[in-house]
Amino acid sequence: YRGECLRSEGDQRPLEYEVPDGFDTLEWVIAQPWCDARIAMFGDSYLGFTSLAAAVSGHPALKAIAPRMIGTDRAVDHGGVFSMELVEWAVNYQMDNRNYARRVDWSVVPLCNVIDKTTGRRCPAYERLRALIVSGQEAADQAFFGVSNPRGYLRIPTLHWTGYWDLRATACIDDYLDLRSRPDVADLQWLILDAIDHEFYPVGYDGPPAGLGEAPSDDAIETLLPSYTDAIIDFFDRHVRQSTGTHPPRVRWHLAHAGWRSAPDWPPPEVKTVKLFLSCLAQAAQGPDGGRLSREHSTNHDHVNWIHNPSDPVPNNVENPWSILSNPPDEAHVELRPDVLTFTTEPLVERLDVAGPVEVHVKVASQNHSAHLVAKLVDIDESGRGLRVLLGARAVTKKEYGKLISVSLGHAGYRFRTGHRIRLELAASCFPFFEVHPGTEEDPWTATSRVPAEMTLLPSVDTALCLLAIASAES
């Protein structure tokens, strides 16, 4: 037993040996009488990682891969703010050779004791994994892939596939974009972007919410299978069996609430930058309809202060971060808090189709030597209910206070419909999705004290939510 929990014996060593193990597995397969030495690999999440690792091994029999809901990056470092979903993964899948459905006790201080307190014992596999990730991208790549630049070893046709609400979406899309920028492998990359989360729940899902660790029903699997397998089979027919036929589009992307589209690349070439500027800062902490978002530059010079209390952080309110669309929270609940800033457009008179990366540009300051800044893009329907579209975060250092900084929220393919409003949320926490800044100079993972601190959003004519959008027929 080495990596993912599949009820094998031995020591858990997630991610660390998948390259040589992938090579050895391929060696075994080609030695079988039924194998023609033309092999493809695909899988979701960790099993998608194994296909990437096998490709990095350079085995000549591996002709194509389709990693889904995964990328070469671990995607838990968000601009210096670490997300906590791997803690839940470790508690339920990395303790031994069994799977569990445990609820993590997030009240534990310091956070580094959370696994011990939840399960009654330490998890050496997670401790090794976290230490490697914290050591930096190059060191982690060297540990997990045996090379410092794994993308440079991906030289076979690859179908990158993710969903906008997937926890690994940015890592998957970054792999595609980086490899498309390399002339020697650019034509070997394809991308599918769907309006789903990590567990394949679609936007607009109205069935029973997913329980932690629950397998989907037989009916759900039967419904899912064609969309899950057809594109993979077509891709492997072309690149492994070398069948002929119509070339698939370079990028297939699902515009949420509108349907599937195709494009020669990502983002689609027809997108234009749309900037929505923040104004009425002084009212931003006064509930869901606090500040304003509009295409007009702000002419006022007000600011807004709020208190970040690490002992009472802004809650994530998501039952299962891996399947957020099975039971999406109404963001209005956290927007009532005085430590959540909101900026909202007027109801849209025409739809706005967003396709590509989304960023927020702001100026902030804090009493501390550093701070966390969390941003959400939210769709507000006519009833006032808020659906989280994107979530991002970054750490801010003291030398960055008062300077314009950007927070990446990831990529979206989303239609904001007529009559809906676009909202931006800003806060200093979203727990337990992200670690909580302790309000001290301690590491958030090992901090034993938590001290409230004042945060300030400063005025700037360049403070804006930046989207890539496609002009609608009406406009």
In degrees, rounded to 5, the angle at the alpha carbon of residue 62 between the alpha carbons of residues 60 and 63 is 100
The CATH number covering residue 366 comes to: 2.60.120.260
* pLDDT tops 80 at residue 4: no
* pLDDT tops 60 at residue 2: no
Are 245 and 347 found together in one domain?
A: no
What does the alpha-carbon distance between residue 164 and residue 379 come to, in Å, rounded to a whole number?
A: 14
Q: Is residue 30 part of a domain?
A: yes
pLDDT at residue 250 in the model: 97
pLDDT at residue 3 in the model: 47
What does the alpha-carbon distance between residue 103 and residue 240 come to, in Å, rounded to a whole number?
A: 43
* pLDDT tops 90 at residue 430: yes
Are 340 and 381 found together in one domain?
A: yes
Q: How far is CA 311 from the centre of its chain?
A: 26
Are 169 and 276 found together in one domain?
A: no
Under DSSP, the state recorded for 281 is G
pLDDT at residue 213 in the model: 61
pLDDT at residue 98 in the model: 81
Question: Tokens standing for 8?
Answer: 């094998």
User: Other CB atoms closer than 10 Å to residue 419's CB: what's the count?
Assistant: 12
Are 72 and 218 found together in one domain?
A: yes
Q: Is residue 460 part of a domain?
A: yes
What is the number of structural domains in the chain? 2
Q: Is residue 102 part of a domain?
A: no
Q: Tell me: the pLDDT tens digits for 235-261?
A: 999 999 988 877 889 999 999 999 999
Are 318 and 375 found together in one domain?
A: yes
Contacts of 330 (CB under 8 A, 6+ apart): 385, 386
Q: Is residue 391 part of a domain?
A: yes
**Least confident among 10-24, 58-72, 211-225, 341-355:** 211-225
Quick check: 276 and 467 in contact, CB under 8 A? yes
Are 241 and 303 found together in one domain?
A: no
Beta bridge partners of 361: 406, 464
Q: Tell me: the pLDDT tens digits for 115-163?
A: 999 999 999 888 988 888 888 889 899 999 999 999 999 999 999 999 9
Bond preceding residue 329 cis, omega within 30 of 0? no
Contacts of 26 (CB under 8 A, 6+ apart): 39, 54, 57, 59, 61, 62
What does the alpha-carbon distance between residue 243 and residue 408 come to, in Å, rounded to a whole number?
A: 40
Q: Indicate the pLDDT class of residue 371, thresholds 50, 70 and 90.
A: very high
Question: Tokens standing for 339?
Answer: 């430590």
Beta bridge partners of 194: 163
* pLDDT tops 90 at residue 75: no
Are 238 and 345 found together in one domain?
A: no
Task: Calculate mean pLDDT across residues 283-305.
Answer: 92
Task: Calculate mean pLDDT across residues 433-437.
Answer: 97
Contacts of 335 (CB under 8 A, 6+ apart): 287, 288, 342, 386, 423, 425
Q: Tell me: the pLDDT tens digits for 23-46?
A: 999 999 999 999 999 999 999 999
Q: Tell me: the pLDDT tens digits for 337-364?
A: 999 999 999 999 999 999 999 999 999 9
Q: Is residue 5 part of a domain?
A: no
* pLDDT tops 80 at residue 219: no
Are 283 and 256 found together in one domain?
A: no
Q: Is residue 395 part of a domain?
A: yes
Q: Is residue 92 part of a domain?
A: no
> Quick one: which H or E segment has residue 357?
strand 352-366
Q: Is residue 110 part of a domain?
A: no
What does the alpha-carbon distance between residue 30 and residue 28 come to, in Å, rounded to a whole number?
A: 6
What does the alpha-carbon distance between residue 134 and residue 129 come to, in Å, rounded to a whole number?
A: 9
Interhelix angle 124-134/137-145, nearest 10 degrees? 130
pLDDT at residue 8 in the model: 62
Q: Do strands 291-294 and 77-78 pair parallel, antiparallel, or not at all (unpaired)? A: unpaired
pLDDT at residue 10 in the model: 66
Q: Which of 161, 374, 127 is nearest to 251 (CA)?
A: 161
Share of the chain above pLDDT 70, in %: 96
What does the alpha-carbon distance between residue 407 and residue 394 come to, in Å, rounded to a whole number?
A: 6
Are 345 and 319 found together in one domain?
A: yes
Structural domain harbouring 342: 272-470
Task: Calculate mean pLDDT across residues 100-105.
Answer: 88
Q: Is 441 exposed, middle or buried (0-12, 13-18, 19+ CB in 10 A)?
A: exposed
pLDDT at residue 14 in the model: 79
Quick check: 303 and 397 in contact, CB under 8 A? no
Q: Tell me: the pLDDT tens digits for 43-63?
A: 999 999 999 999 999 999 999
pLDDT at residue 54 in the model: 97
Which domain-ending residue is among 263, 282, 307?
Answer: 263
Quick check: 453 and 367 in contact, CB under 8 A? yes
pLDDT at residue 1 in the model: 40
What does the alpha-carbon distance between residue 164 and residue 182 come to, in Å, rounded to a whole number?
A: 24
Output the CA torsion 233→236→237→243 (10° steps): 150
pLDDT at residue 215 in the model: 64
Are 256 and 281 found together in one domain?
A: no
Q: Which of 356, 388, 354, 395 is nearest to 374 (CA)?
A: 395
Q: Indicate the pLDDT class of residue 221, thresholds 50, 70 and 90.
A: confident
pLDDT at residue 9 in the model: 65
* pLDDT tops 90 at residue 330: yes
The CATH number covering residue 160 comes to: 3.40.50.1820
Are 228 and 342 found together in one domain?
A: no
Are 278 and 202 found together in one domain?
A: no
E strands, 179-264, where? 189-197, 251-255, 259-263
Which of 8-17, 331-340, 466-475 is the most confident on average?
331-340
pLDDT at residue 475 in the model: 45
